[in-house]
Amino acid sequence: MEQALPLPAAAGAAPAWPLRILGAADRVLTVALVAAVGAMVAVVSAQVALRYGFNRSIDWADEIGRLAFVWSMFLAIPLGVRDGAHIGIDLLVDKFPATAGSALRRVGAAVCAVMMLAIAWAAVGVAREQWDELMATVNLSVGWFTVPVAAGAFLSALHLAKVVVLGPPIRSGGAE
């Protein structure tokens, strides 16, 4: 879990509401993530049991299982960004003094935030282009595969913007 970071002296009067909104978004994201993983496990398990136990099949299981997998993967990304859990190569940055290292991490977070916003923007465009196309076995738009990409990228950008403003999360150890 991420430890609370004090606000920088220059931003001491910054309002706390953006952090509360981001925290609420993370809670909603976590519920959606658990639902997506639960749906994926339930559908795939039922499909396997029916196929190998009863020689039957659910027509829509593959598409819904794949959709739930895509949602679970892309909704988990912002939570990893929030906690600083994604893999990174910090061999060079760790050689700098603490203030310079923090500044480099903030610059990196800013670049990544801009890239995530570009990904979110592109994903929204792709979803809009594909919205009229339906999945083969379910009366749902193919665009639903791209919605979690946009949502995950946008929330990741917000977490990266938080790193730019407040600094990187405090590390709690990890594999070396």
Domain ranges for the chain: 16-166
Residue 129's pLDDT is what? 96
Residue 24: burial class (beta carbons within 10 Å; 0-12, 13-18, 19+):
exposed
User: What average pLDDT does the segment 69-88 reach?
Assistant: 90
Residue type, 23: G
| Size (the chain), residues | 176
Residue 124, pLDDT above cutoff 90:
yes
Residue 125, pLDDT above cutoff 60:
yes
What average pLDDT does the chain have? 87
With beta carbons less than 8 A apart as the criterion, state whether 154 and 116 touch: yes
At residue 174 the predicted structure's pLDDT band, cuts being 50, 70 and 90, is low
Residue 9, pLDDT above cutoff 70:
no
**pTM for the whole thing?**
0.81
Residue 122's pLDDT is what? 97
Residue 167's pLDDT is what? 81
Residue 7's pLDDT is what? 47
- Name every residue whose Cβ is closer than 8 Å to that of residue 175 and which is 6 or more positions away in sequence: none
Residue 170, pLDDT above cutoff 80:
no
Residue 11's pLDDT is what? 47
- Name every residue whose Cβ is closer than 8 Å to that of residue 151 and which is 6 or more positions away in sequence: 29, 74, 75, 120
At residue 131 the predicted structure's pLDDT band, cuts being 50, 70 and 90, is very high
- Name every residue whose Cβ is closer than 8 Å to that of residue 136 and which is 6 or more positions away in sequence: 63
